[in-house]
Chains A and B, each alone.
Chain A
């Protein structure tokens, strides 16, 4: 069977699931101007992060790369950059890299324009122009091999590994088998299960991909140790053991199961794009939502499948986030935030494969334009960029 979705074909060949004008402040100090523009102009979203100045060069490059790759992602049809003028990010490079994808891009500079009110006026005019320019674009049929799906779990409980993560694992395997792309991260959650992931790497645990998996886990542990914390000690916790988890492998696998069973093709750094690489990939990103969702969206993912048990409501400005809820009680309790009830597996109404097929069908509908619950509620404003060094 051939699976397709309806998407927006971009000049660089990528296919978007949304057709948004992204308002991108190149530094936190431009956020208020960006927010005023977004409030006024329909069809825009903003990336209101907290970075871009008084950071070490490594982090300024990360912020520049991340913002550029968000602007280049296929769900974004046009970009308005809002620069202050003296920030540490390279806003000229962001502008040039987005322009190279042949999508419309404009930039306003607050200091040059004469302050807040003039920048807001110029920004509203520019954003309106961009919305008018792209809003008539029609969706076209695209093959499932064009899908780039990111996956994550958050606000998990004991149902997550058994129900919602198992469902996402089913969808991940199906999408990889159809020639698509799947990306997972949450390096923190690999702890204790990194040898299992490394054994699934192309080239085996001793090959470059397997070794890179160990490297990103060691790097994350070393960062925690640098401030005196040992993340591996005492795992699984007494609470985990009381809940039925018998080893750290079992604990990690509860999260890892959402990546399915296909070979791991490689490891991406936090700001990397995936472009047209296929199969299952890891992105080195932390578990916290604002940072990992940004990392996944800048990879180029058109949608995220998000597993939860206790009920995580949030989305992302430009990437629809589909909430798969493993806990049947939470689904009923928070049904205006949860997109699919995988809790029916726990109460014996449905099998993992049956709910997996429903989840895959929902993914295709969302990619074709159906809103997720957090999109319809406008619950997608919080985002940030994962930086490594201190604020200076």
Chain B
């Protein structure tokens, strides 16, 4: 206490110093642009693919076997839904909002065959990748999460 008293005058004479944060600032200024450059702001996700059922690549027309083998064919102007024990249905892509019509048709199939989770998406050679992904999304939303891709003859 006495010692403090004796130093009192010299304490009063000292200038209060802030913490020197300039080196830390320099570090941050270098780090942040580097992280901003390498940061990924796009949410990239994936769609898992399945191999098509055995033999289906060769005889897509043969629908007499037991499983449903639900298939959505993407034609230039139509979506065609077909499968075993299913009436073939055709959706005109030139209509307004053909994806909703496809979703409704697939939802009806899922309601009629609740055990089926698979769908084959058959595309023509010139079908755009974007269209295939759209049909996969519609199928997944309709309750068919397991999609496989096939090429049309």
Q: Bound pair: A and B?
A: no
